[in-house]
Protein backbone atom coordinates (compact mmCIF):
# COMPACT_ATOMS: atom_id res chain seq x y z
CA UNK A 1 0.00 0.00 0.00
CA UNK A 2 1.05 3.63 -0.45
CA UNK A 3 1.04 4.21 3.33
CA UNK A 4 3.63 1.53 4.07
CA UNK A 5 1.32 -1.05 5.68
CA UNK A 6 1.91 -4.63 4.61
CA UNK A 7 -1.78 -5.53 4.88
CA UNK A 8 -5.11 -3.78 5.28
CA UNK A 9 -5.50 -5.43 8.69
CA UNK A 10 -2.30 -3.75 9.96
CA UNK A 11 -3.76 -0.39 8.95
CA UNK A 12 -6.93 -1.35 10.85
CA UNK A 13 -4.80 -2.27 13.90
CA UNK A 14 -3.19 1.20 13.85
CA UNK A 15 -6.60 2.88 13.61
CA UNK A 16 -7.90 0.83 16.55
CA UNK A 17 -4.85 1.84 18.61
CA UNK A 18 -5.44 5.53 17.81
CA UNK A 19 -9.10 5.14 18.78
CA UNK A 20 -8.13 3.57 22.14
CA UNK A 21 -5.85 6.56 22.84
CA UNK A 22 -8.75 8.91 22.05
CA UNK A 23 -7.03 10.59 19.09
CA UNK A 24 -9.71 9.50 16.62
CA UNK A 25 -13.30 8.32 16.74
CA UNK A 26 -14.32 5.33 14.60
CA UNK A 27 -17.90 4.91 13.43
CA UNK A 28 -18.37 1.25 12.46
CA UNK A 29 -20.57 0.42 9.50
CA UNK A 30 -20.10 3.76 7.75
CA UNK A 31 -18.01 4.58 4.73
CA UNK A 32 -15.07 6.75 5.85
CA UNK A 33 -16.35 6.53 9.42
CA UNK A 34 -13.35 8.23 10.98
CA UNK A 35 -13.23 11.55 12.81
CA UNK A 36 -10.29 13.37 14.37
CA UNK A 37 -10.90 14.31 18.00
CA UNK A 38 -10.21 17.78 19.40
CA UNK A 39 -8.04 17.84 22.49
CA UNK A 40 -6.13 20.52 24.45
CA UNK A 41 -3.08 21.90 22.68
CA UNK A 42 -4.30 20.75 19.27
CA UNK A 43 -5.69 23.14 16.64
CA UNK A 44 -9.47 23.42 16.69
CA UNK A 45 -11.47 21.69 14.00
CA UNK A 46 -14.10 23.71 12.18
CA UNK A 47 -16.96 22.77 9.89
CA UNK A 48 -17.22 24.58 6.57
CA UNK A 49 -20.19 24.31 4.23
CA UNK A 50 -19.51 23.50 0.58
CA UNK A 51 -21.65 25.85 -1.49
CA UNK A 52 -23.08 24.50 -4.71
CA UNK A 53 -24.90 26.32 -7.47
CA UNK A 54 -26.09 29.74 -6.36
CA UNK A 55 -29.20 31.52 -7.63
CA UNK A 56 -29.49 35.25 -8.24
CA UNK A 57 -30.41 37.47 -5.35
CA UNK A 58 -30.35 34.83 -2.64
CA UNK A 59 -27.62 34.72 0.01
CA UNK A 60 -24.68 32.55 -0.96
CA UNK A 61 -24.91 30.62 2.32
CA UNK A 62 -28.65 29.95 2.00
CA UNK A 63 -29.41 26.39 3.12
CA UNK A 64 -30.57 25.29 -0.34
CA UNK A 65 -27.09 26.02 -1.75
CA UNK A 66 -25.14 23.88 0.74
CA UNK A 67 -24.17 20.54 -0.82
CA UNK A 68 -22.22 19.09 2.13
CA UNK A 69 -19.89 20.12 4.93
CA UNK A 70 -16.19 19.52 5.54
CA UNK A 71 -14.29 19.39 8.81
CA UNK A 72 -11.03 21.33 8.50
CA UNK A 73 -8.26 22.43 10.84
CA UNK A 74 -8.66 26.07 11.86
CA UNK A 75 -4.97 26.86 11.24
CA UNK A 76 -5.03 25.49 7.69
CA UNK A 77 -5.67 28.96 6.23
CA UNK A 78 -4.18 32.39 7.06
CA UNK A 79 -7.70 33.78 7.62
CA UNK A 80 -10.56 31.65 8.85
CA UNK A 81 -12.92 30.97 5.90
CA UNK A 82 -16.70 30.95 6.13
CA UNK A 83 -17.39 28.49 3.33
CA UNK A 84 -15.93 26.44 0.50
CA UNK A 85 -16.84 26.92 -3.14
CA UNK A 86 -16.13 24.28 -5.80
CA UNK A 87 -14.26 25.88 -8.71
CA UNK A 88 -15.66 25.29 -12.18
CA UNK A 89 -13.48 26.00 -15.21
CA UNK A 90 -9.89 27.00 -15.77
CA UNK A 91 -10.09 30.82 -15.87
CA UNK A 92 -7.85 31.09 -12.75
CA UNK A 93 -5.37 28.40 -13.83
CA UNK A 94 -2.28 30.63 -13.71
CA UNK A 95 -3.04 31.54 -10.09
CA UNK A 96 -2.98 27.81 -9.28
CA UNK A 97 -6.76 27.52 -8.99
CA UNK A 98 -7.96 24.55 -11.05
CA UNK A 99 -11.29 23.06 -12.06
CA UNK A 100 -12.64 20.96 -9.18
CA UNK A 101 -10.60 22.68 -6.44
CA UNK A 102 -12.35 23.79 -3.27
CA UNK A 103 -11.77 27.50 -2.75
CA UNK A 104 -11.86 28.63 0.89
CA UNK A 105 -13.76 31.93 1.07
CA UNK A 106 -14.05 34.58 3.79
CA UNK A 107 -17.32 36.49 3.47
CA UNK A 108 -16.74 40.13 2.58
CA UNK A 109 -18.52 42.86 0.66
CA UNK A 110 -15.27 44.77 0.05
CA UNK A 111 -11.98 44.01 -1.68
CA UNK A 112 -8.76 45.81 -2.55
CA UNK A 113 -7.09 45.79 -5.93
CA UNK A 114 -5.30 42.56 -6.68
CA UNK A 115 -7.30 40.32 -4.34
CA UNK A 116 -8.94 37.16 -5.67
CA UNK A 117 -12.65 37.43 -4.99
CA UNK A 118 -15.91 35.57 -5.39
CA UNK A 119 -18.24 37.92 -7.24
CA UNK A 120 -21.88 37.69 -8.18
CA UNK A 121 -22.78 39.07 -11.59
CA UNK A 122 -26.48 38.70 -12.27
CA UNK A 123 -27.30 35.05 -11.58
CA UNK A 124 -23.71 33.79 -11.91
CA UNK A 125 -20.94 33.50 -9.34
CA UNK A 126 -17.36 33.78 -10.55
CA UNK A 127 -13.84 33.74 -9.10
CA UNK A 128 -11.58 36.48 -10.47
CA UNK A 129 -8.86 38.97 -9.54
CA UNK A 130 -10.41 42.31 -8.50
CA UNK A 131 -9.41 45.73 -9.86
CA UNK A 132 -11.32 48.96 -9.21
CA UNK A 133 -10.80 51.68 -11.82
CA UNK A 134 -12.25 55.20 -11.69
CA UNK A 135 -15.65 54.49 -13.27
CA UNK A 136 -15.80 50.69 -13.41
CA UNK A 137 -14.62 47.42 -11.91
CA UNK A 138 -12.50 44.91 -13.80
CA UNK A 139 -12.53 41.22 -12.96
CA UNK A 140 -9.44 39.58 -14.39
CA UNK A 141 -8.94 35.91 -15.14
CA UNK A 142 -5.55 34.32 -14.57
CA UNK A 143 -5.57 32.65 -17.98
CA UNK A 144 -4.85 34.50 -21.25
CA UNK A 145 -7.73 32.65 -22.96
CA UNK A 146 -10.23 34.75 -20.95
CA UNK A 147 -10.99 38.46 -21.39
CA UNK A 148 -11.52 40.70 -18.33
CA UNK A 149 -15.11 41.23 -17.21
CA UNK A 150 -15.95 44.94 -17.04
CA UNK A 151 -18.68 46.04 -14.61
CA UNK A 152 -19.83 49.67 -14.75
CA UNK A 153 -20.41 51.24 -11.36
CA UNK A 154 -23.93 52.12 -12.53
CA UNK A 155 -24.62 48.34 -12.70
CA UNK A 156 -24.37 47.96 -8.92
CA UNK A 157 -27.66 46.03 -8.80
CA UNK A 158 -26.21 43.17 -10.87
CA UNK A 159 -22.77 43.02 -9.20
CA UNK A 160 -21.75 42.12 -5.65
CA UNK A 161 -18.59 40.96 -3.94
CA UNK A 162 -19.47 37.81 -2.00
CA UNK A 163 -16.09 37.05 -0.44
CA UNK A 164 -12.30 36.87 -0.56
CA UNK A 165 -10.27 33.78 -1.45
CA UNK A 166 -8.20 32.77 1.59
CA UNK A 167 -7.01 29.30 0.58
CA UNK A 168 -7.45 26.23 -1.52
CA UNK A 169 -8.09 22.52 -1.04
CA UNK A 170 -7.19 20.22 -3.89
CA UNK A 171 -8.45 16.66 -3.81
CA UNK A 172 -5.87 14.60 -5.66
CA UNK A 173 -6.28 10.88 -6.12
CA UNK A 174 -3.23 8.75 -5.35
CA UNK A 175 -2.50 6.23 -8.08
Of 152, 153, 149, give the one whose Cα is nearest residue 138.
149
Report the distance separating Cα 30 and Cα 49, nearest Å: 21
User: 23 by DSSP, 3-state: which?
Assistant: coil
> Which residue among 20, 27, 31, 91 is the active-site one?
91
128 is catalytic: yes
Q: How far apart are CA 114 and CA 48, in angstroms?
A: 25
Which runs of E-coded beta strand occur in the chain? Answer: 24-26, 34-36, 45-51, 66-73, 83-86, 102-107, 116-121, 124-133, 136-140, 149-152, 159-169
- Is residue 15 classed exposed, middle or buried when 0-12, 13-18 and 19+ CB atoms within 10 A define those classes? middle
Q: Which of 128, 131, 152, 154 is catalytic?
A: 128
φ, ψ at 94 (rounded to 5°): -75, -5
Active site (catalytic) residues: 91, 128
Amino acid sequence: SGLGFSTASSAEDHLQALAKKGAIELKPGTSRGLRLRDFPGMPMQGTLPLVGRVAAGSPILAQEHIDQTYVVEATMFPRRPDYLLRVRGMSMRDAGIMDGDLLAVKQSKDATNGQIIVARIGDEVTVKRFKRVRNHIELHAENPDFEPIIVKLSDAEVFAIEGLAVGLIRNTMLM
